[in-house]
Amino acid sequence: MNVSQTASKTDVPINHLPVFKNTAHEARTIMALDLGSKTGWALRQTDGQITSGTIEFKPSRFEGGGMCFLRFKDWLDEILTYAGPIKSIHFEEVRRHLGTTAAHAYGGFLACLTSWCEARSIPYQGIPVGTIKKFATGKGNAGKDAIIQAMKDRGHDPTDDNEADALAILHLVLSREVSS
């Protein structure tokens, strides 16, 4: 399969994913996710490089609602294949959604992620939204623009708030590793 074209049988484009180097078996990739139909993701690779982006899993007009979850699981498999062993996955733990559709989508992605992690013995952890915002900006109720700016201040160029949230989660996890 040509990595720059599509991912597995559900045609999720992954041309935004670089080919990862896995040079050390001891050091493993850490992944951070902002779950949703448009998922933000960030990886700290084994060589210390950070890669991030967003990917959409919306079903097309003629597909059932479950296709987005199948695409999400296939995408996780692709990440595992190209990034190598994953040490842990951390995600934004949302406890309140403004809409029913967003709550259902989040719950579906969370169920897929946790079952996928369990099947592969990959530890996972939810981090509350306020904790992420406070770490990134100093304010637990910071807006999306503040998170984006905070990640730009760290040398990243997030395309939207989803990618910025994933980067903030990753930096929070990495800061905890250093301090422990």
More confident residue, 87 or 11: 87
Q: What confidence tier does 25 reach under pLDDT thresholds 50, 70, 90?
A: very low
> How big is the chain, counted in residues?
180
Residue 2: band (very low, low, confident or very high) from pLDDT cuts 50, 70, 90: very low
pLDDT at 9 over 80: no
The pTM score is 0.83
Percent of the chain with pLDDT over 70: 83
Cα–Cα distance measured from residue 105 to residue 100, given in angstroms and rounded to the nearest whole number: 9
pLDDT band for position 49 (50/70/90)? Answer: very high
Q: Residue 159: pLDDT above 60? A: yes
Residue 19 — pLDDT band, cuts 50, 70, 90? very low
Tens digits of residue pLDDT in 62-80: 888 889 999 999 999 999 9
Tokens coding 121:
């013995």
Q: Is the pLDDT of residue 95 over 60?
A: yes
pLDDT score recorded for residue 97: 67
pLDDT: is 95 or 165 the higher one? 165
Question: Which residue, among 162, 180, 166, has the nearest Cα to 30 in the 3D structure?
Answer: 166
Average pLDDT (98-102) is 75
179, 172 in Cβ contact below 8 A? no
Contact (Cβ atoms closer than 8 angstroms) between residue 34 and residue 92: yes
- 20 and 82 in contact (C-beta within 8 Å)? yes
Q: Which domains does the chain have, with CATH numbers?
A: 8-179 (3.30.420.10)
| Mean pLDDT on 88-109 | 86
Give CA torsion, residues 96, 103, 116, 171, to 10 deg. -40
Least confident of 20-24, 36-40, 86-90: 20-24
Name 31's Cβ contacts closer than 8 Å, sequence gap at least 6.
41, 42, 43, 79, 83, 86, 88, 89, 90, 170
Q: Are 127 and 114 in contact (CB under 8 A)?
A: no
